[in-house]
Structure 1
Amino acid sequence: MPWLPILIALPALGALGVAVLPKGSDKAAKQLALLVSLVVLALTLVLAFQFAPDANGFAFQQKYSWIPSFGVSFGVGVDGIALVLIALSAVLVPIVILASWHDADGTGAENPPKRSVKTYFSLLLVLEAMMIGVFAATDVFLFYVFFEAMLIPMYFMIGSYGGAQRSYAAVKFLLYSLFGGLLMLVAVIALYVTAGKNTFMFPELIGAVTDPTVQKWLFLGFFIAFAIKAPLWPFHTWLPDAAAQAPAGAAVLLVGVLDKVGTYGMLRLCLELFPDAAKFFTPLVLVLAVIGIVYGAIVAIGQTDMKRLIAYTSISHFGFIAMGVFAMTSNAQAGATLYMVNHGFSTGALFLIAGFLIYRRGSARIDDYGGVQKVAPVLAGTFLVAGLSGLALPGLSPFVSEFMVLLGTYERYLVYAVIGTSGVVLAAIYILWMYKRVANGPTAESVSGMKDLNGRERLVIAPLLVLIIALGFFPKPVIDVINPAVDRTMTNIQMKDPQHAVPVAEQAEQKGAGN
Structure 2
Amino acid sequence: MTVSILIFLPLVAAVIVYLLKNDAAKYAALFFAVAELVVAGVMITKFVPDSSVQFVTDAEWMPKLGIYFTAGVNGISLIMVLLNVLLVPIIILSSFNRPQQNANIFYALILFMQAGMLVVFTALDGFLFYVGWEAALIPIYFICALWGGENRIRITLKFFIYTFAGSLFMLLAIIYLHLQTPQRTYDINHFYDLHLSLKEQSFVFWAFFLAFAIKMPVFPFHTWQPDTYTEAPTAGTMMLSGIMLKMGVYGAIRWMIPVAPNAFDKYQYIIITLAVIGIIYASIIAFKQRDGKRLVAYSSIAHVGLIAAGIFAWTASGVQGALIQSLNHGINVVGMFFIWDIISRRLNTRDIGQMGGIASAAPKFAIAFLIVLLGTVALPLTNGFIGEFLLLNGVYEYNIFLSAAAGLTIIFGAVYMLRMYKNVMQGQTNELTVLFTDLTGNEKLVLCCISALIIFLGIYPQSVMHLSDAAVMDLVKTVNTKIVNGALEAITK
Deviation at 1:412, TM superposition (A): 2.3
Q: What per-residue deviation string (whole Å, max 9, x for no partner) do you get for residues 410-447 of structure 1?
A: 12211111111111110111101111111111112112
Q: State the match for 2:457 in structure 1.
A: 471
AA partner of residue 236 (structure 2)? A
Q: State the match for 2:491 in structure 1.
A: none
AA partner of residue 33 (structure 2)? S
Are the aligned partners of 1:18 and 1:118 in contact in 2 as well (CA < 8 Å)? yes
Q: Supply the distance in 2 between the matched residues of 1:196 and 1:371 (Cα, whole angstroms).
A: 67
Q: Supply the distance in 1 between the matched residues of 2:149 and 2:423 (Cα, whole angstroms).
A: 23
Equivalent in 70, 78, 93 of residue 73 of structure 2: 78
AA partner of residue 239 (structure 2)? L
Q: State the match for 1:8 in structure 2.
A: 7
Are the aligned partners of 1:297 and 1:427 in contact in 2 as well (CA < 8 Å)? yes
Q: What TM-score, normalized to structure 2? A: 0.96
Q: State the match for 1:36 in structure 2.
A: 32
Q: Supply the distance in 1 between the matched residues of 2:187 and 2:391 (Cα, whole angstroms).
A: 30
Deviation at 1:314, TM superposition (A): 0.8
Deviation at 1:103, TM superposition (A): 3.0
Deviation at 1:183, TM superposition (A): 0.9
Q: Supply the distance in 2 between the matched residues of 1:250 and 1:209 (Cα, whole angstroms).
A: 41
Are the aligned partners of 2:97 and 2:442 in contact in 1 as well (CA < 8 Å)? no
AA partner of residue 185 (structure 1)? L
Query: Is residue 356 of structure 1 aligned with residue 342 of structure 2?
Result: yes
Query: Is residue 187 of structure 1 aligned with residue 182 of structure 2?
Result: no
Q: What per-residue deviation string (whole Å, max 9, x for no partner) do you get for residues 224-253 of structure 1?
A: 110000000100011101111112122111
Q: Supply the distance in 2 between the matched residues of 1:434 and 1:263 (Cα, whole angstroms).
A: 28
Q: Supply the distance in 2 between the matched residues of 1:444 and 1:138 (Cα, whole angstroms).
A: 56
Q: Supply the distance in 1 between the matched residues of 2:459 and 2:133 (Cα, whole angstroms).
A: 34
Q: State the match for 1:57 in structure 2.
A: 52
Deviation at 1:496, TM superposition (A): 11
Query: Is residue 47 of structure 1 aligned with residue 43 of structure 2?
Result: yes
Q: What TM-score, normalized to structure 1? A: 0.92
Q: 1:297 to 1:495 in 2, by over 3 A?
A: farther
Q: Supply the distance in 2 between the matched residues of 1:343 and 1:30 (Cα, whole angstroms).
A: 26
Q: How does 1:212-291 map to 2 (within 5 A)?
A: 212-291=198-277
Query: Is residue 347 of structure 1 aligned with residue 347 of structure 2?
Result: no
Q: What per-residue deviation string (whole Å, max 9, x for no partner) do you get for residues 199-244 of structure 1?
A: 1010221031421100001110001110000000100011101111
Q: State the match for 1:336 in structure 2.
A: 322
Deviation at 1:463, TM superposition (A): 1.2
Deviation at 1:337, TM superposition (A): 0.8
Q: Supply the distance in 2 between the matched residues of 1:380 and 1:52 (Cα, whole angstroms).
A: 41
Q: Which runs of 4+ in 1 moved over 4 A?
A: none
AA partner of residue 132 (structure 2)? F
Q: What per-residue deviation string (whole Å, max 9, x for no partner) do you get for residues 178-215 of structure 1?
A: 11111111111111112343110102210314211000
Q: State the match for 2:489 in structure 1.
A: none
Are the aligned partners of 1:130 and 1:146 in contact in 2 as well (CA < 8 Å)? yes
Q: Secondary structure at the match of 2:242?
A: helix
Q: State the match for 1:372 in structure 2.
A: 358
Are the aligned partners of 2:181 and 2:190 in contact in 1 as well (CA < 8 Å)? no
Q: State the match for 1:484 in structure 2.
A: 470
Q: Supply the distance in 1 between the matched residues of 2:179 and 2:256 (Cα, whole angstroms).
A: 17
Moved more, 426-435 or 187-196: 187-196
Q: State the match for 2:430 in structure 1.
A: 444
Are the aligned partners of 1:104 and 1:120 in contact in 2 as well (CA < 8 Å)? no
Query: Is residue 89 of structure 1 aligned with residue 84 of structure 2?
Result: yes
Larger Rg: 1
Deviation at 1:369, TM superposition (A): 1.7
Equivalent in 327, 330, 341 of residue 313 of structure 2: 327
Unpaired runs of 5+ residues, structure 1, are 106-112, 498-515
AA partner of residue 333 (structure 1)? V
AA partner of residue 46 (structure 1)? V
Moved more, 379-388 or 134-143: 379-388
Q: What per-residue deviation string (whole Å, max 9, x for no partner) do you get for residues 319-340 of structure 1?
A: 1111111111111111111110
Deviation at 1:104, TM superposition (A): 4.3
Are the aligned partners of 1:77 and 1:136 in contact in 2 as well (CA < 8 Å)? yes
User: Higher relative contact order at CA 8 Å, sep ≥6: structure 1 or structure 2?
Assistant: 2
Q: State the match for 1:385 in structure 2.
A: 371
Deviation at 1:495, TM superposition (A): 5.0
Are the aligned partners of 1:195 and 1:209 in contact in 2 as well (CA < 8 Å)? no
Are the aligned partners of 2:91 and 2:238 in contact in 1 as well (CA < 8 Å)? yes
Q: Supply the distance in 2 between the matched residues of 1:400 and 1:292 (Cα, whole angstroms).
A: 21
Q: What per-residue deviation string (whole Å, max 9, x for no partner) do you get for residues 397-419 of structure 1?
A: 11101001111221221111111
Deviation at 1:469, TM superposition (A): 0.8
Q: Secondary structure at the match of 2:59?
A: strand
Unpaired runs of 5+ residues, structure 2, are 484-493
How many matched pairs? 484
Q: Secondary structure at the match of 1:493?
A: helix
Deviation at 1:464, TM superposition (A): 1.1
Q: What per-residue deviation string (whole Å, max 9, x for no partner) do you get for residues 109-137 of structure 1?
A: xxxx5xx1111111111111111111011
Q: How does 1:159-174 map to 2 (within 5 A)?
A: 159-174=145-160
Deviation at 1:373, TM superposition (A): 0.5
Q: What per-residue deviation string (whole Å, max 9, x for no partner) do you get for residues 349-404 of structure 1?
A: 10111111111111122223211101111112211111111111111111101001
Q: Secondary structure at the match of 1:463?
A: helix
Q: 1:368 to 1:495 in 2, by over 3 A?
A: farther
Are the aligned partners of 2:66 and 2:185 in contact in 1 as well (CA < 8 Å)? yes
